[in-house]
Structure 1
Amino acid sequence: MNQNTARLSPPMVLTFAASDPSGGAGLQADLMTIASMGCHPLSVTTALTVQDTVGVSSILAIDADWVDDQARTLLEDMPVAAFKIGLLGSIENIVVIAEILADYPGVPLVLDPVLASGRGDELADEEMVAGLRDLLLPLTTVLTPNTLEARRLATTGDQDEGQHPTLVDCAQRLLSSGCEYVLLTGTHDSTPRVVNSLYGGPDGQLLRRDVWDRLPGSYHGSGCTLASALAAQLAIGLPVSDATGAAQEYTWQALAAGFRAGMGQFLPDRFFRMHAADSVRDG
């Protein structure tokens, strides 16, 4: 690589995720989002899925040795400015990815805890939830759960039998598990507007709260889009609070420009800026 090429190289973001043939979520969503934000996407495939815009039919986890080889080969060749984690497929993959990321403590990590599909298809068993909590949260810069995911990650049977911890309690517990920040998203709440709250700092305080108009319909891959956009903004060098704001703005715009490609959920338009510019030129 000559000096001119190295100077022009964009920040690189490595995503660990499952392939989604519909292009709405998963690996494909990550790649489109990261590229549209000016970064170069690198990818490690953790699972293959059979799914469409309606839901997930089946999952085939990639062998953990293959996951390890994919990641190590990339990391030995190219510098990574941020990591993003989505659906991991198995507890074995969680273990090996935690071992890999432990070697890169200075690189920011965004963890999107994909526990179920938008339709409610189960994507992670309790062993995997425990693995996320115990092995990956301590390595995480920003965790991006929706309210359902936050409650499941933060709740343990012995600790919460007969109790219902508040969402603030859940955020505090997740921070105490080792992650630096929790961006709690309100997309699954039955509220007129979507409220997203960022918690962090030494006392786990509320750092920012963003309120967004709730768009009609439901969207496939909104969480993947938000987490990948956030990883890209961190790779570019924005501080966490500013990166969180920019990623939310991008995601809302992508959802607002979304389209219905099949019989199920809408898909975000991750290239809405390009399409808007085309419309201006055509007009």
Structure 2
Amino acid sequence: MPADLIIEQARAILEDMPIAAIKIGMVGSAEIAMAIHSIIMDYEHIPVIYDPVFSTETDGSLSTDELVDTVRTLILPVTKVLTPNIHEVHALAPGSDTPNAAAIGLLESDVEYILLTGTHGNTPDIVHTLFSNNRELEKFHNERLPHKYHGSGCTLASSIAAQIALGQEVLGAVRKGLEYTHKTLVNAHRIGMGQYHPNRFFWDK
């Protein structure tokens, strides 16, 4: 998608109605990252929640070194909540020894909060860790479910953004977002022979 079209679409919404949060998912190119940055700079009062999708299990890498560098330089400094997995946090902080060290290092780029998700780890349960102010704030534990899922990270970042838009402070938004996302995965459904998809309307079976 052309960067100028993204700018036009975003401004059409931002200039028409009150917006309380901006959620960013996969960014397709460095040019698009620059376009997103230009939009955010005109609306600096709106909190940004960014899920840095650089690859998928089915499609492999979706990024380039130029894109990651541009995101690191332009998008991270204007992000309120960053939600990387262990692979994404190392892509953004490649010199770090551990995922936790990478997350703390990224806080120096002016990201306010980093929720390091644990879905790609090898632990019996899933441990998500929230960082801010150069330290670990809280750990969140979830049961590790048996399937492969497509869209869990997007669901989490979007639900956190929704909670922040409703006025929740970040810790509460993260807690509620994780609870909601876990329920969508417990109730996930499979379309065809592919991965399971979160059931975001799990209460309406």
- Coarse TM-score class (shorter-chain normalised): over 0.9
Q: Which runs of 5+ in 2 are unaligned?
A: none
Q: Which residue among 59, 64, 84 is the counterpart of 1:125?
A: 64
Equivalent in the alignment of 1:251: 181
Tell me the distance in 2 between the aligned counterparts of 1:128 and 1:147: 18
Equivalent in the alignment of 1:100: 39
Equivalent in the alignment of 1:140: 79
Shift of 1:66: 0.6
Moved over 3 A (4+): none
CA RMSD in angstroms comes to 1.0
Tell me the distance in 1 between the aligned counterparts of 2:97 and 2:41: 31
Q: Which has the larger radius of gyration?
A: 1
Equivalent in the alignment of 2:137: 207
Tell me the distance in 2 between the aligned counterparts of 1:118 and 1:256: 20
1:221 aligns with 2:160: no
Equivalent in the alignment of 1:188: 120
Q: AA paired with 2:149?
A: Y
Correspondences of 1:8-19 after superposition (within 5 Å) = none
Equivalent pairs: percent with the same residue?
45
Correspondences of 1:30-109 after superposition (within 5 Å) = 62-109=1-48
Structure 1 length normalisation: TM-score? Answer: 0.71
Tell me the distance in 2 between the aligned counterparts of 1:149 and 1:188: 10
State the number of aligned residues. Answer: 205
Shift of 1:169: 1.2
Tell me the distance in 1 between the aligned counterparts of 2:91 and 2:30: 17
Shift of 1:120: 5.2
CA deviation string 1:58-82 (max 9, x = no partner): xxxx001111111111111111000
Equivalent in the alignment of 2:130: 198
Q: AA paired with 2:4?
A: D
CA deviation string 1:111-150 (max 9, x = no partner): 0000001335111111111111110000000000000100
3-state SS of the aligned residue for 1:77? coil
Q: Which runs of 5+ in 1 are unaligned?
A: 1-61, 276-283
Equivalent in the alignment of 1:267: 197
Shift of 1:273: 1.6
